[in-house]
Amino acid sequence: MAKQNTDCATCGKCDQPNGVCPEFTFYTFIIYSENTPGLLSQITAVFTRRQVNIESLNVSASSTPGVHKFTITCYCEEQMAKMLTKQMEKRIEVLKANYYTDDELFIIETSLIKISTPLMLKNREVSKAVRLHDAKIVEVNTTYATVEKTGITRDILSLYESLNKLGVVLQFVRSGRIAITKSRVEHLDEYLAQRELQRCL
């Protein structure tokens, strides 16, 4: 039996050094719902009841009036992803829920890194790292500078790790991902069209 991994980001039962079970896949769930108070807690409860850790969560208005879009990421098996999707769609306010792998989506995140200005001025490698990662400094004062990096998760974390190794990082924050599908079929539009057709029958 595998030893308990207290740093595990998923099930906590494996001995993987990064805490992610090798059988698990990183999924992005895109959920469309009516704008109803309290729905966010109901959706997140679907994950917590099954002991699935949410990696990131983003909620915003969608292109459809009155419909909100939830973008949630987590590590799990596909069987669990299917179960979570079905459970979320049981909510009356949820219009459509789907899960995707990264190769099915266009993805972007943004981040801000606060670094020490005195240390940045002493070490040219800091500015070099910012340029190499195609990031930009959006604010500078005598105490700190703020670096902004927008892109995919891997590139953002690469910049953070480079700056952190140089010992200049004071604060780091990363947004939840936003994503759109590569499919030519919009699942929400398809669902709404079918619902409208049923109403007319």
Condensed to tens digits (0 to 9), the pLDDT of residues 104-116 reads: 999 999 999 999 9
Residue 155 in domain: yes
Higher pLDDT, 185 or 70: 70
- pLDDT reported for residue 1: 30
Highest mean pLDDT among 11-20, 168-177, 192-201: 168-177
Shared domain check, 133 and 94: no
Residue 22 in domain: yes
- Using 50, 70 and 90 to split pLDDT, how confident is the model at 144? very high
Backbone angles phi, psi at 164, to 5 degrees: -65, -35
Average confidence (pLDDT) over 33-61:
92
Residue 192 in domain: no
pLDDT at 185 over 90: no
User: Which tokens go with 143?
Assistant: 């105490």
Q: Residue 121: which CATH number?
A: 3.30.70.1150
Shared domain check, 166 and 91: no
Domain span holding position 145: 106-174
Average confidence (pLDDT) over 161-166:
97
Which of 69, 100, 131 represents a domain boundary (last residue)? 100
Shared domain check, 115 and 77: no
Shared domain check, 71 and 27: yes
Average pLDDT for the chain: 87
Shared domain check, 123 and 51: no
Residue 93 in domain: yes
- pLDDT reported for residue 9: 46
Give the chain's domain count.
2
Backbone angles phi, psi at 128, to 5 degrees: -65, -40
Shared domain check, 90 and 1: yes
- Using 50, 70 and 90 to split pLDDT, how confident is the model at 2? very low
Higher pLDDT, 124 or 37: 124
Q: List the one residue out of 99, 89, 93, 83 whose CA is nearest residue 25.
A: 99
